[in-house]
Amino acid sequence: MTIDKLLDALTTCGWYVWDDFLSSSSIAEIKAAIPEDALQAARIGHQSSLHNNKNVRGDLTVWLDPDMGEAIEHYLMKMDAVRLAMNAALYMGLKEFETHFCRYPKGAFYQKHNDNPRAQSRRKITTVLYLNEDWQAGDGGELVVYDQQDNPLITLEPVAGRMVFFLSEAFPHEVLPTQTTRESIAGWFLN
């Protein structure tokens, strides 16, 4: 069972790639539910220091909410089932899940960063679900995950249906420049 593989991988190496996490039809339904007029330039920082900086990240985002439609609601329910499984097996005490849709226009990237800036430590598990149904080698936008010594561990092609999970505090990561539009859903399980 794939959830067991996820649990084993989180305890042994701290990351896991789950191909075919969602079907093509589910991905199409999620993409159709994204409110285009709500997309905004992504910001960096925390609370009062939030600001735009296209030299660091160039994507557009919108936070997901179950009121956006049945497809988003089903995705959030599936992620909650994963949260409950991680809590039951790994005693993680994860309380909630926050998530947003990301669109990287051609040329956009996100410099290497950690998902718990300023030692906030609320984000425990990072997730990224890819929505790029026609991704081809050379399209760019790969995710590179590093270890604490700055060595690349994995480079992931943003192929539709693929989900990556990793310990938020353990792995700096970046999105390489994309040569075409790249879409994903980034999320975090929180304590």
Domain residues for 132? 2-42+55-190
CA distance 68 to 45: 26
Q: What residues have CB less than 8 Å from 139, skipping those under 6 apart? A: 132, 178, 179, 180, 182
Tokens at 104, concatenated: 């990287």
- Reported as a pLDDT band with limits 50, 70 and 90, residue 64 is very high
> Which SS3 state, helix, strand or coil, does residue 125 take?
strand
**What number of CA atoms fall less than 13 Å from residue 159's CA on the CB side?**
11
CA distance 36 to 154: 31
CA distance 8 to 16: 9
Residue 11 falls inside a structural domain: yes
DSSP 179-190: SS-EEEEEEEEE
Give yes or no for residue 50 having a pLDDT over 60.
no
Give yes or no for residue 48 having a pLDDT over 60.
no
Domains of the chain: total: 1
Residue 50 falls inside a structural domain: no
> Which SS3 state, helix, strand or coil, does residue 59 take?
coil
Q: pTM of this prediction? A: 0.92
Supply the mean pLDDT for the chain.
92
Residue 47 falls inside a structural domain: no
Residue 48 falls inside a structural domain: no
Q: Which region holds residue 91: left if phi is over 0, alpha if psi is between -120 and 50, else beta?
A: left
Give yes or no for residue 21 having a pLDDT over 50.
yes
CA distance 40 to 36: 9
Strand-pairing partners, residue 102, are: 61, 184
Output the domain CATH number for residue 173.
2.60.120.620
Residue 49 falls inside a structural domain: no
- Reported as a pLDDT band with limits 50, 70 and 90, residue 44 is low
Residue 170 falls inside a structural domain: yes
DSSP-assigned letter for residue 82: H
